[in-house]
């Protein structure tokens, strides 16, 4: 039985800015790109959230919802340094720390002897250290696995602690809405609801084989999560699988030739990011992401050796999927070599891998 802690900082970037400038604490505040340059909100404080402002929202829409919104461009170097300070606190309790982002991490404290081995006391101490040493607040979840720990940390946000003991898993999971499960988006939740499936308890009546037959990989995941199961270990060293670059366009583009010019501008930036460490022949594939004016998006990925000109073929295919839709964002990605994986240097385009760019 594992003891997992999930730490999630509260509106991290905004919280750092409010800490350093107390005058910002009582005003609606967001970190993101400028509205006139079609920026997107990265995060916002809880004052702004009361107006309906949310992460990933276009800055222009955020300003309409909240005219007094203070919008800052952010100071990434400061956030990264603060994240390193957070990690130093985590490492006092365990070496098994898996960062998910600058402001979020899993800790496996199963073997830790801190606080008499109590994961709950460790989580409380960590939150206190973050508050006293960094002047920030964090929410924490404690549970027997990663899946439940992450859900637990959401129960008392902001600035709270929630514990799911092993004997409480059943009571916690049964009434849990399926839409709360990681990997269940709005459309998938609607599909499940159309079948009369709203809660984890609703799905438990279906045999595992039927779930997999109906929903494929989603069914495999559901068959585990509806019982509160998750055997994924905390990975202290996460392997980076891709490097990417993207840009939100100053104005929507309909013309493929104009998109090709954007590609020509992005490719050197992408190569600047991967060439110092990886040779072109080492890469395992490349892909393109297109986000349209209605915020729908499509991703096309091909395995094989890196060829810059291939991005133009991927662009043409991506545009063909969403005919006549204006494009607001264009991104490129390359797949990095993984241990034990050999690039066959194939020049043939293989079937698309539609996994999200990351």
Active site residues: 104
**310-321 and 256-274 are packed helices; what angle lies between their axes, rounded to 10 degrees?**
130
158-180: burial string, b at 16+ Cβ within 10 Å, e else: eebbbbbeeeebeebbeebebee
On whether 8 is known to bind a ligand per the annotation, the reply is yes
CB 98 within 8 A of CB 234: yes
Bridge partners, residue 8, by sequence = 104, 139
Bridge partners, residue 245, by sequence = 332
Element (H, E) at 98: strand 97-101
Residue of 166, 228, 116, 211 whose CA lies nearest to 3: 166
DSSP state, residue 199: B
Greatest Cα pair distance in the chain? 64
Element (H, E) at 65: helix 59-65
> How would you class 236 by CB atoms within 10 Å of its CB: exposed for 0-12, middle for 13-18, buried for 19 or more?
middle
Dihedrals φ, ψ of 26, to 5°?
A: -105, 5
Dihedrals φ, ψ of 59, to 5°?
A: -60, -35
DSSP state, residue 10: S
Q: Which parts are annotated binding residues for Mg(2+)? A: 8, 103
Q: Which parts are annotated binding residues? A: 8, 103
């Amino acid at each position: 039985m594992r003891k997992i802690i999930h730490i999630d900082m509260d509106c991290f970037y905004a919280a750092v800015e409010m800490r350093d400038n107390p005058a910002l604490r009582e005003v609606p505040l967001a970190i993101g790109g400028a509205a006139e340059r079609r920026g997107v909100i990265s995060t916002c404080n809880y004052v702004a959230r009361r107006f309906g402002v949310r992460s990933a929202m276009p800055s222009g829409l955020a300003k309409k919802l909240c005219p007094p919104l203070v919008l800052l461009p952010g100071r990434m170097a400061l956030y990264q340094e603060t994240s390193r300070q957070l990690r130093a606190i985590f490492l006092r309790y365990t070496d098994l720390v898996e960062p998910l982002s600058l402001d979020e991490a899993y800790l496996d404290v199963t073997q830790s002897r801190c606080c008499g081995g109590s994961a709950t006391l460790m989580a409380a101490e960590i939150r206190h250290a973050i508050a006293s040493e960094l002047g920030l607040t964090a929410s924490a979840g404690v549970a027997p696995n990663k899946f439940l720990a992450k859900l637990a940390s959401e129960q008392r946000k902001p600035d709270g602690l929630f514990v799911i003991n092993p004997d409480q898993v059943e009571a916690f999971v049964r009434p849990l809405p399926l839409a709360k499960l990681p990997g269940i988006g709005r459309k998938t939740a609607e599909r499940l609801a159309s079948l009369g499936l709203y809660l984890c308890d609703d799905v438990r009546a279906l045999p595992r084989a039927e779930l997999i037959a109906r929903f494929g990989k989603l069914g495999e995941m559901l068959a585990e999560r509806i019982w509160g199961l998750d055997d994924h270990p905390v990975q202290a060293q996460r392997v980076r699988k891709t490097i990417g670059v993207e840009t939100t366009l100053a104005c929507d583009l309909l013309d493929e030739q104009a998109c090709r010019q954007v590609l020509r501008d992005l490719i050197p930036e992408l190569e600047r990011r991967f060439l110092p460490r990886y040779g072109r022949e080492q890469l395992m594939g490349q892909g393109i992401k297109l986000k349209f004016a209605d915020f729908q998006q499509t991703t096309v990925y091909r395995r094989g050796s890196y060829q810059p000109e291939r991005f133009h073929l991927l662009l043409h295919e991506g545009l063909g999927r969403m005919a006549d839709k204006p494009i607001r964002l264009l991104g490129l990605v390359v797949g990095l070599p993984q241990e034990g994986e050999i690039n066959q240097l194939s020049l043939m385009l293989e079937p698309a891998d539609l996994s999200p760019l990351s």
